[in-house]
Amino acid sequence: MLKDLFIGMSQNKILNALAQKYGFKLGAQSVVAGTNIKEMIESVKELNTQGISATIDNLGEFVSDKQEAIAAKEQIIEVIEAIHDNHVDAHISLKATQLGLDIDYNFCLANLREIVAKANELNIFINFDMEDYSHLQPSFDLLDELSKDYSNIGTVIQSYFYQSEENIQKHKDYRLRIVKGAYKEPMEVAYQDKKDIDENFIKLIESHLLHGKFTSIATHDHHIINHVKKFVNEHNIAKDKFEFQMLYGFRKDLQFELAKEGYNFCTYVPFGTDWYGYFMRRLAERPQNLNLMVKQVFNKKTNTMIGIGAGAFILGRLSKKK
Ligand code: FDA
């Protein structure tokens, strides 16, 4: 129920506009690393000092205007230059809909080509994040088209899709991030039960660790992380063949602990003003994440129930203004 509510809210344009205006006052900074490149680079430098690399997401998605998509492309190129100029250990995560996939496939391809070419010149990796099912095949097509000219690209496999096993086989020569999947998908295309999603997640991770290129295991789930630690040990998989990834602001202690244990660790660092859809999906995954926001508002520790109640109140007030 709550998952559906938050996913629905993530697509509400009026709430998005309000959130952009008031968001940072509501505590979005706990999970978003600033609104501009300078603030984001400072956050990445801090992570780097802990031995953690970063994948940077200049927030934005579902763009329906060409000028917006061109602006997003230019901003991402600025981020690539900032990574290079500041000598930080980081790469890029982007979304095809941010670069015009909903407007025109070839327009999006041209935007992506410019980004990937610039990143290639500066030896920076680009990850194509995966969005909902309707964008799945076009995103793979974009990747496969660009891979004819560039090798600094990779993508994401979502374990809730039935077809992910087939997709991971087809893309085993790419660097892949494996996740459970963040969007609401129908039972015709995706597993609905956590147990099935988790089982498939483990199957896909093991398959890419054994037969694929570099694997990024992106999860906050300690059960999965512990399973992977055991699996790589049993199969003598070297630490430079994989990394763990988590989102900025989530389970920070565990992030530092894994880096200290000598695992490659990469934090997904979103920044910018267009944070609303991203944040709503985090709430859909785990309503307790409201706690993070509420702690920022009141600047003191609250328990989970107070967090959910206060957060729901704030969100309720916002939705009444629509
Ligand atoms: P899940 O939410 O299933 O939680 C499992 C268990 O882990 C919980 O029951 C709890 O015990 C523990 N846990 C989880 N979060 C916790 C917390 N904050 N504190 C304490 N315990 C916690 N999705 C997508 O569709 N496309 C994409 O491109 C990406 N990209 C991406 C990058 C990165 C770096 C990450 C981490 C995630 C994504 N995702 C994504 C999102 C992903 O698909 C998924 O929705 C979320 O990661 C939530 O699933 P988890 O595996 O983290 O655990």
pLDDT tens-digit map of 83-130: 999 999 999 999 999 999 999 999 999 999 999 999 999 999 999 999
- The DSSP output letter for 122 is T
Tell me, yes or no, if 89 is annotated catalytic: no
Which pLDDT belongs to residue 304?
39
**Ramachandran area for residue 256 (φ above 0: left; ψ -120 to 50: alpha; else beta):** alpha
Closest CA to 282 of 251, 256, 306: 251
Q: 270 pairs with which residues across the strands?
A: 57
Percent of the chain, pLDDT > 90? 72
Residue ID of nearest Cα to ligand 1 atom 10? 221
Amino acid at 244: F
Chain centre to alpha carbon of residue 261 = 24
Which pLDDT belongs to residue 143?
98
Domain ranges across the chain: 1-30+287-322, 33-274
Residue ID of nearest Cα to ligand 1 atom 51? 219
Which pLDDT belongs to residue 305?
40
Give the integer Cα–Cα distance in Å for 32 and 20: 12
CA of 280 to the centre of ligand 1 (A): 13
| pTM across the whole model | 0.89
Which pLDDT belongs to residue 38?
97
Neighbours of 267 (CB within 10 A): 26
- Please name the fold of domain 33-274: TIM Barrel (3.20.20)
Which pLDDT belongs to residue 134?
97
Mean pLDDT per 10-residue run, the chain (322 residues)?
73 73 67 93 98 96 90 97 98 96 97 98 98 97 98 98 98 97 95 98 98 96 98 98 96 97 98 84 79 55 41 45 32
Which pLDDT belongs to residue 293?
61
Task: Please list every protein residue whose CB sits less than 6 Å from any atom of ligand 1.
Answer: 129-130, 156, 158, 179-183, 218-221, 245-247, 250-251, 268, 285-286
Closest CA to 290 of 280, 277, 300: 280
